[in-house]
Amino acid sequence: MLRTEEILSTIEMLHAEHLDVRAVTLALNLDDCASASVDSLCRKVESKIMAQASRLVETCDRIGVKYGIPVVNKRIAISPAATILAGHGSAAALKLAQTLDKAAAECGVDFVGGFSALVQKGMTRADRLVIESLPEVLSQTWRVCSSINVATRRAGINMDAIAILGQKILDIAEATKESHGFGCAKLVVFSNIPEDSPFMAGAYMGSGEPEATINIGVSGPGVVSSALRRRIAQESNLTLGDLAEEIKITSFRVTRVGELIGREVAKGLGLAFGIVDLSLAPTPTVGDSIGEILKALGIEKIGAPGSTAAIAMLNDAVKKGGLFASSSVGGLSGAFIPVSEDSTLAEAAEKGYLVLEKLEAMTSVCSVGLDMVLIPGDTPATTIAGIIADEMAIGVINDKTTAVRLIPVPGAKPGDRVDFGGLFGASPIMEVRNVGASEQFVNFGGRIPAPLQALRN
């Protein structure tokens, strides 16, 4: 049972430490909008979104003011677009995406996720339509985000889909070169994609979900960092176990706040409450950084030996605190390490402390993967596909969600700096080594079989 007094006390204590509700996401099933006519399909989609989401922003703002905790982003996640595009031609994909973009703008939300396809074992015509349309869709819409699931522990890794996406990522970057390839920031390639994540660009609504539900993402890297620094300043002879306990307790408090806000929003809209995702998602704001947490844990240079162990401890403590606080924890609920969105990580990359290979090692124990990583624009498609395949393998073998959001910046070289502004932040271009050396491996194609651990029945 949520105790309002306890939560309000926590809010007051944490108010100055960058605690916010990072995202309230209305997840909406659009399968009943399917139609033989693309015009009819789009009319149904727009009508349903407006009927369900027109009050989302107003409700979030009102409840945010009530509790003094801002809801930073209001979003919509739909069931996979590939499902309702089945039977349609190439023009239908862009028209649907433009409809989603228009409806999102009319509702006042910042992003709409779910222009997605699940292709871990193979591609239907509709799945391929979604993937082939991505350069056009992501360059001609602003709010539409896409996620493509190419691997699961049960199915293995679809290398054919990965090879296509390696080229599509380059095509998206070229189509949005005026904004340094920003279109790629709206595409995430997943293994073991969660069906209820509220975070973009990977949010979509899974097939086992209700008709409409509210999922909430609460983020508090600054809260955790402040709690650790206070504890270290107040006590001597602390161990890493003591610090892990401090992270767990802080995560518990933040989760309680998040669930309160989520349930109030759901009640205000007359919808079901889904999950609270306690993912420590950083922003470029100083004091709101995963990197600063790692520094508080004693990692002077992010990327130094011990960095992977520190992020593993952080991720585990966050999950333990969240699960103790709520029976509705879902999504990803751990630590994100998006380079451009975390000023401390970006600084470590700029100074050469954090390299791509070490970042990949750290993703094996964090909640997502290679996130918002800027690479040279002339990186070959097969090298990009190889990077994706490596990250998918980490997810499949370890039965965890992993993801890749790479941005090949046209014309950029290692060491150049790109600033996207806002929550997307700034980052140096990271060097990609051994370029072209995995071409034959990628070109073999096919599917990497599921690991032995998948055979659990």
> Span 325-340, mean pLDDT?
81
Higher pLDDT, 47 or 334: 47
Residue 90 lies in a domain: yes
Decide if pLDDT at 457 tops 70. no
Please state, in angstroms and as integers, the Cα–Cα distance from residue 217 to each residue in 29, 72, 163, 391, 395, following that order.
Answer: 19, 10, 32, 24, 22
Query: Residue 295 and residue 288: Cα distance in Å, rounded?
Result: 13
Higher pLDDT, 214 or 8: 214
Q: What is the mean pLDDT of the chain?
A: 90
The reported pLDDT for the residue numbered 239 is 94
- Is-contact 396 429, C-beta < 8 A? no
> Span 421-449, mean pLDDT?
92
CB burial string 309-330: b at 16+ within 10 A, e below:
ebbebbbbbbbbbbbebbebbb
Domain span holding position 155: 4-191
The reported pLDDT for the residue numbered 284 is 63
Quickly tell me which residue has 């669930």 as its tokens: 259
Decide if pLDDT at 289 tops 70. yes
Please choose, from the candidates 344, 354, 358, the residue with its C-alpha nearest in 3D space to the C-alpha of residue 290: 344
> Span 207-223, mean pLDDT?
86
Residues 420-429: tens digit of each pLDDT: 987 788 899 9
Residue 193 DSSP one-character state: -
Query: Residue 47 and residue 28: Cα distance in Å, rounded?
Result: 12
Residue 149 DSSP one-character state: E
The reported pLDDT for the residue numbered 16 is 54
The reported pLDDT for the residue numbered 76 is 96
pLDDT > 90 fraction of the chain, expressed in percent and rounded: 67
Longest Cα–Cα distance of the chain, Å, equals 69
Burial class (CB in 10 A: 0-12, 13-18, 19+), 172: buried
Label residue 445 left, alpha or beta by phi (over 0 means left) and psi (-120 to 50 means alpha): left
Residue 113 lies in a domain: yes
Residues 366-390: tens digit of each pLDDT: 878 899 999 999 999 999 999 999 9
Please choose, from the candidates 127, 150, 198, 169, the residue with its C-alpha nearest in 3D space to the C-alpha of residue 381: 169
pLDDT > 70 fraction of the chain, expressed in percent and rounded: 94
> Span 273-290, mean pLDDT?
77
Higher pLDDT, 2 or 364: 364
> Span 184-203, mean pLDDT?
92
pTM above 0.75, yes or no: yes
pLDDT band at 321 (very low <50, low <70, confident <90, very high): confident
Higher pLDDT, 261 or 124: 124
Residues 57-71: tens digit of each pLDDT: 999 999 988 887 788
Quickly tell me which residue has 């709520």 as its tokens: 326
Residue 178 lies in a domain: yes
The reported pLDDT for the residue numbered 258 is 84
Residue 398 lies in a domain: no
Residue 251 lies in a domain: no
Query: Residue 115 and residue 93: Cα distance in Å, rounded?
Result: 9
- Is-contact 216 21, C-beta < 8 A? yes
Query: Residue 438 and residue 359: Cα distance in Å, rounded?
Result: 19
The three-state secondary structure class of 284 is coil
Residue 286 lies in a domain: no
Residue 229 lies in a domain: no
pLDDT band at 326 (very low <50, low <70, confident <90, very high): confident
Give the CATH number, domain containing residue 99: 3.20.70.20
pLDDT band at 184 (very low <50, low <70, confident <90, very high): very high
Residues 24-51: tens digit of each pLDDT: 999 999 999 999 999 999 999 999 999 9
pLDDT band at 325 (very low <50, low <70, confident <90, very high): confident
Decide if pLDDT at 17 tops 70. no
Higher pLDDT, 144 or 8: 144
| Count of structural domains within the chain | 1
Residue 387 lies in a domain: no
Decide if pLDDT at 1 tops 70. no
Decide if pLDDT at 246 tops 80. yes
Quickly tell me which residue has 């107003």 as its tokens: 58
